[in-house]
Amino acid sequence: MTETDGGGFCAVVELERGRSYRFRYHLDGQRWENDWAADGYVGNEYGGDDSVVDLTDDAAPPGNGAPTSPPRRRAAKNTTA
């Protein structure tokens, strides 16, 4: 992640369509936080929940195979620690 001018942090990650991904933010080397705007949440082996970004709806373009809109992209997380 890189620090933004506003004091937050930003990361851009390209994700493959047709899958869902679990993630959490590790802050200050100690705390784990979820993205409260995630598509969903799923329990993890540590007794907490992971955030989920779901790109399964983007797996197959409609119609003749030509995309009608660009793939969904998540806004970069702006987090201050």
pLDDT number for residue 10: 87
In a domain, 79, yes or no: no
DSSP secondary structure of 2-16: EE-TTS-EE------
Nearest residue to 11 (alpha-carbon basis) of 1, 26, 25, 3: 1
DSSP three-state, residue 36: coil
List the domain range (segments joined by +) for residue 29.
Answer: 2-58
In a domain, 29, yes or no: yes
In a domain, 23, yes or no: yes
At residue 1 the predicted structure's pLDDT band, cuts being 50, 70 and 90, is: confident
28-to-4, 41, 47, 81 alpha-carbon distances in Å = 16, 22, 20, 7
List CB contacts of 80: < 8 A, sequence separation 6 or more: 7, 8, 9
* Average pLDDT across the chain, whole number: 79
Total structural domains in the chain? 1
In a domain, 13, yes or no: yes
Q: What pTM was estimated for this model as a whole?
A: 0.62
- pLDDT of 44 over the 50 cut: yes
The residue length of the chain stands at 81
Greater confidence, 1 or 54? Answer: 54
Identify residue 13 by its one-letter amino acid code. V
- CA 48, distance to chain mean position in Å, is 17
